[in-house]
Structure formats: structure tokens, C-alpha cells
Structure 1
Amino acid sequence: MRADAERSTARILEAAEAVLADDPNASLERIGDAAGVARATVHRRFSSRQALLDALSERLNERYLLVIEQASVRTAPPVLALHRVSEIVFELKMSHRFTITLASAPSREVQDGLDLLFTRLHAAGAITAAGPAWCRRVYLALMNEVYLLPDDAPELAEAGGRAGLLVRTVLGALGGR
């Protein structure tokens, strides 16, 4: 893809995220207007509305893969990595609210990264639960619950924010300290 086409595609995706967060039924024409491109350009880049939604989901998944890398899941002390993953994911969830609603399950690569993190947490003695897939499912379920808490929830203040509450709760739920 040419550089200008890549820039147009990126602008369309950014505009789609913003416009659809406001109005999930917004037309592709409205998304094109917000991106500063013609509706025909949107249709050239994305053959259908579903193709655009799929691209938004794929883009979010790529960001999740970057989270695994940025949190140094492979090398950082595992509790620190868990906290960092949680912080970054909550930032993503807050800034990409519409796309989050599209995502069903993380990709296999993201799941593998989280499984590695929970394997490292177990090996370090931070949790007693040994099954990384189970730990990942508990983590993702609790993440959703913490995400849904109102900003003024007392639990958030007591734990120092969403990431703090999630990490403390996950470690406790998985037999950690």
C-alpha cells in the first residue's frame, strides 16, 4: 500500500473509532467526513461496514500485542508486569470504548503472552494457581468487572485505581499474596 493510502486508512480507522463511539450506527459517509476523505475512499479501503469493524478489531489486537511487549512480560518481575499490563489495557479500554465492544476474545498470540505471564507469576510464587489458561480467564473476567465500576467507586480509591484493584484482586483470587 502506498504511503498516502496507509495514511488515509489510518485516518479512517481513527475517525471510525471516534464516530462510532458516539453513534454506533453512523454511516460510512459520516466516518469518511470525519476522516477528511470521500465516502468512495472509505469503500475502496473497506469493502463493507463489517470489513471496517474487522479492521478496528484487528488494530485493537495489535495494540494488545504491543501491551505484552511494553510490559516486558517475558523479562520484568512478573507482578510488576501484571500491573503494567493492567494499566495499559485500562488506558486502551478507556480510549477505544467502541472497539472494545467489538472484541470477543484476545488473539492466540495475546493469550499466549498472558499465559506466559501467569506461568511466571506461579513460578515466582506470587500465585498458587498453576493453570495459566484458567488464570487468564479469571484475569479477563475480573478486568471486565473492574472496567465497569464507576469512576467514583470506593474500591478504586482504596486500591489506587483500576490497575491496582485488578492486580490485588487477581493475586488474591489465584492464591497469591
Structure 2
Amino acid sequence: MPQPASAKPLRADTERTVRAILEAAERVLAVNPAATMEQIAEAAGVARTTVHRRFASREALIRALAAWATQRFHEAVEAARPETAPPSVALYQVTANVLRVKVSWGFAMGALPTDDPEVSRVHADVMTRCARLFARTRDAGLLRPDADLDWARTVYYALIHEAAIQSPETDAAVDALATRVVDTLLHGVGTPASG
């Protein structure tokens, strides 16, 4: 779990409890964004006082949830090895990994604070990696040499967003959607122009 630089590392049992609370918060808040700390505690299988001991307020819990999801998002991109894997493999793997995070942490990803420096740093790093991956994808001949990479990334992000809304429930469904996103990005939905 992300900790401020000045914070002491959490003990393993405390970290498990915090993770259980955050996972329960995601499940409960995704269904009912107005859910109380007590409802979250019940879903996590802990006492309300335990939740309050770890998170001073509902807002602090939501901020921690957003920070947790941001870390998962960053790890998802890193795990795809966007700088070293072959571009087609990296593009597919980033897509599948990010879809998994967006589906699993949908409430938290929607609650990301725009004024949090760590969230901003992580998103800037992800955008930089994505820009380099798209340049590698173009250089490998998967995108047209004259492709507008900024526009291609904008379309790609929109495709991932729309795919995540489909709420795939299995890994196979996520994989199928990732394949559709990449195929749509690289090949579109129209017929090739005859000429």
C-alpha cells in the first residue's frame, strides 16, 4: 500500500486489514456511493472502530482508496513492460492489465483526486510511457507512419474507457475486450479504401 515518505511501514497484519477495508470499500461504494463507514466495515468483516482507527474520515478512506487504485494502475502498466516487450505484445498487455484495474477498481478510479501530487505524478509517468509505446508501435509498422500519435492515444484511452464500462466478469472476457480494443485501434471498423 502506498505510504507517505514519512510514514512507518505497516505491519503485515495491519496491511492485510487495510487492504480488506479498501477492497470492501470498492465493492460497497461501487454499488452505493453514499455508503457509510459502518457499511464498509461490515463488508470488510471488521469493527467500525477499526475502520476509523485506520481512516480518520470517509473522505480519508476514499483518498486512500484512490491512492491504492492509482498504484494498481501504475503497476499494471509497468507489468506490461511497455519499453522492452515487442510493441504489439506490450500494447495488448497494457490494454488487458489496465482494463482489469479499471473493472476491479472502477469506483476508486473515478474518485481520483485531481489535486493529489502523487496521483498526478503517476498519471504523468503512465502518459509518458504510453507516448513512447505508441512511437514504438508506429516505428514497428503497426500504425501508419503519418499517424497522429496524440489523436491515436486519445482514441485508445476512449476505447479502454468504453470497454471497462462493459464490466467483463472473467479474465477471458477481459482478454477478449483487450483484443477488440487493440484490433479496433490498429485496424478500425471500416473497410480498407480501394484504390
Q: Do both share a fold (TM > 0.5)?
A: yes
- Structure 1 position 85, deviation (Å): 1.2
Corresponding letter in the other structure for 1:161: A
Q: Work out whether 1:71 is the aligned partner of 2:80.
A: yes
The correspondence of residues 38-53 of structure 1 with structure 2, limited to 5 A, is: 38-53=47-62
Match 1:101 to one of 103, 110, 126: 110
Corresponding letter in the other structure for 1:66: E
Measured in 2, the distance between the counterparts of 1:35 and 1:148 equals 25
Corresponding letter in the other structure for 2:16: R
Q: Work out whether 1:147 is the aligned partner of 2:164.
A: yes
Measured in 2, the distance between the counterparts of 1:134 and 1:108 equals 17
Match 2:63 to one of 47, 50, 54: 54
C-alpha distance after superposition, 1:71-106 (max 9, x if no partner): 121111111111111112222233233223324787
C-alpha distance after superposition, 1:105-162 (max 9, x if no partner): 87112212212211211222211355544432221112222333587xxxxx9xx821
The correspondence of residues 124-163 of structure 1 with structure 2, limited to 5 A, is: 124-128=140-144, 132-149=149-166, 161-163=176-178
Higher percent of residues as helix = 1
Distance 1:26 1:134, change over 3 A: same
Corresponding letter in the other structure for 1:169: T
Match of 1:20?
29
Corresponding letter in the other structure for 1:163: A
Task: Tell me whether 88-97 or 119-128 shows the greater mean CA deviation.
Answer: 88-97
Measured in 1, the distance between the counterparts of 2:129 and 2:41 equals 35
C-alpha distance after superposition, 1:13-41 (max 9, x if no partner): 01111111222211001111222222222
Residues 111 and 136 in structure 1, CA contact (< 8 A), matched pair in contact too: no
Identical positions, percent? 40
When the two structures are superposed, what TM-score results if normalisation uses the length of structure 2? Answer: 0.73
Measured in 2, the distance between the counterparts of 1:136 and 1:52 equals 32
Residues 99 and 163 in structure 2, CA contact (< 8 A), matched pair in contact too: no
How many residue pairs get aligned? The number is: 167
C-alpha distance after superposition, 1:44-85 (max 9, x if no partner): 222222221121221111112112222121111111111111
3-state SS, counterpart of residue 62 of structure 1: helix
When the two structures are superposed, what TM-score results if normalisation uses the length of structure 1? Answer: 0.79
Corresponding letter in the other structure for 1:90: L
3-state SS, counterpart of residue 75 of structure 1: coil
Instruction: Let me know the Cα RMSD of the aligned residues.
Output: 2.7
Match of 1:169?
184
Match of 1:112?
128
Distance 1:2 1:54, change over 3 A: closer
3-state SS, counterpart of residue 137 of structure 2: helix
